[in-house]
Amino acid sequence: MTASTVDIALFAAKLGMVFLAILTLAAYLVFAERRVLAWIQDRKGPNRVGPLGLLQPLADLVKLLTKEDFIPAAADKWLFCLAPAMAAIPAILIFSVIPFGKPLTIAGHQVPLLIADLNVGLLFFLALSSIAVYGVAIGGWASNSKYSLLGGIRGLAQLISYELSMGLSLVPVVMLARSFSLTAIVDAQARIPFILYQPLAFIIFLISITAECKRIPFDIPEAEGELVAGFHTEYSGMRFGLFFVGEYINIIVLGGLATTFFLGGWHGPVLAPVIWFGIKTLVFAFFFIWMRGTLPRLRYDQLMHLGWKLLTPLALLNILATGWWLVAAS
């Protein structure tokens, strides 16, 4: 395989742009969440730093970087330091298989607007999201604090349970698209997005990804009313920041995946494909914030019951029904 210098340069530029875009978006999502929550709760939110408070993420960054990086005395030092990275890296890596636009042609070179077009893209996402559990679990365990340990164990149990229903809700998508590749899945939705064929799978997937990114009403690993801050109780400074930003990167990535699997990816009329992808992804981000401002937290046993006794059987039934429907249609 020979790659010309232009190809390599284009790839590097794409990589850099995606990285920059995701990190900036994540930082501004934190800001957006604070403003939207404030709006829901009829208060103002951060509005002092820069016009409309738009420089608030920068101020937060400076604050986090200059804070003391504290490691508890009896903590497992290495794992304590590594855990935030273990949580954030899989989240960023998942984005590499999401197609975020129509392939471009620049100076005679075809540039597909995704980092890696794997033919097992969907499985790559499931694999990385199952790896992301370690950050939460190890972070909670290595802190050597009761609150953190409880948060870590809850996180483990929750993520294992909801991974199952998430994976099963994606099986009908694969059955319809007849491929694991995310590019093929988007192409299969060129005319009709899968949400119209598979509303049930979409709802199960949406609930599962909310649990996967540990958002209210599923934020049991960090329930501040009972566990202080759960698995990241003992973290401070930029290590806490990494956990925090990782969560928002996760929101963007999972929103992008929901867009890809059910809303037709970058397909859309009039506007440019990249803009359509951005709009759809941000709608999901707004939905997550909106839910946080609206719903109360589930109890731990309710969460487990919902996952194992309702979502998983429903997803299985949905697979069966889709199979019958496909056979009947052909």
Q: Which residues contact 277 (CB under 8 A, 6 or more apart)?
A: 100, 101, 256, 259, 265, 266
Could you write out the DSSP letters of every residue in 130-167? HHTHHHHHHHHHHTT-HHHHHHHHHHHHHHHHHHHHHH
Residue placing its CB nearer to another protein in the complex, 127 or 200:
127
| Binding status of residue 287 toward another protein by CB under 8 A | no
Residue placing its CB nearer to another protein in the complex, 127 or 195:
127
Q: Which residues contact 137 (CB under 8 A, 6 or more apart)?
A: 152, 153, 155, 156, 231
Burial of 169 (0-12, 13-18, 19+ CB in 10 A): buried
Stretch near another protein under the rule CB under 8 A, chosen from 43-51, 117-125, 188-196, 267-275: 117-125
What span, in angstroms and rounded, lies between the C-alpha atoms of 248 and 33? 10
Instruction: Tell me the closest approach of the beta carbon of residue 224 to another protein, in angstroms.
Output: 21
Binding-site member from 75, 88, 138, 223 for another protein (CB under 8 A): 138
| Binding status of residue 160 toward another protein by CB under 8 A | yes
Distance of CA 266 to the CA centre of its chain: 18
Stretch near another protein under the rule CB under 8 A, chosen from 106-114, 173-181, 236-244, 252-260: 173-181
Instruction: Tell me the closest approach of the beta carbon of residue 266 to another protein, in angstroms.
Output: 24
Residue placing its CB nearer to another protein in the complex, 179 or 236:
179
| Binding status of residue 247 toward another protein by CB under 8 A | no
Q: Residue 2 corresponds to which tokens in the numbers above?
A: 């020979």
Binding-site member from 31, 100, 124, 205 for another protein (CB under 8 A): 124
> Which residue do the tokens 């002092």 mark?
48
Q: What x/- string results for residues 60 through 99 when contact with another protein is judged by CB under 8 A?
A: ----------------x--x--------------------
The three state secondary structure string of 24-53 is HHHHHHHHHHHHHHHHHCCCCCCCCCCHHH
What span, in angstroms and rounded, lies between the C-alpha atoms of 284 and 289? 9
Q: Are strands 104-106 and 109-111 parallel, antiparallel or unpaired?
A: antiparallel
Instruction: Tell me the closest approach of the beta carbon of residue 221 to another protein, in angstroms.
Output: 13
Residue placing its CB nearer to another protein in the complex, 64 or 220:
220
| Binding status of residue 175 toward another protein by CB under 8 A | no
- Strand-pairing partners, residue 123, are none
**Are the C-beta atoms of 183 and 161 separated by less than 8 Å?**
no
What span, in angstroms and rounded, lies between the C-alpha atoms of 278 and 88? 21
Instruction: Tell me the closest approach of the beta carbon of residue 215 to another protein, in angstroms.
Output: 21
Q: How many Cβ atoms are within 10 Å of 28's Cβ, its own excluded?
A: 14
| Binding status of residue 131 toward another protein by CB under 8 A | yes
Number of residues engaging another protein in binding (CB under 8 A)? 28
| Binding status of residue 173 toward another protein by CB under 8 A | no
| Binding status of residue 171 toward another protein by CB under 8 A | no
| Binding status of residue 258 toward another protein by CB under 8 A | no
Binding-site member from 10, 25, 87, 133 for another protein (CB under 8 A): 133
Instruction: Tell me the closest approach of the beta carbon of residue 295 to another protein, in angstroms.
Output: 27
Phi-psi region of 292 (alpha: psi -120 to 50; beta: other; left: phi over 0): alpha
| Binding status of residue 152 toward another protein by CB under 8 A | yes
Binding site for another protein (CB under 8 A): 76, 79, 118-120, 123-124, 126-128, 130-131, 133-134, 137-138, 141, 149, 152-153, 156-157, 159-160, 163, 178-180
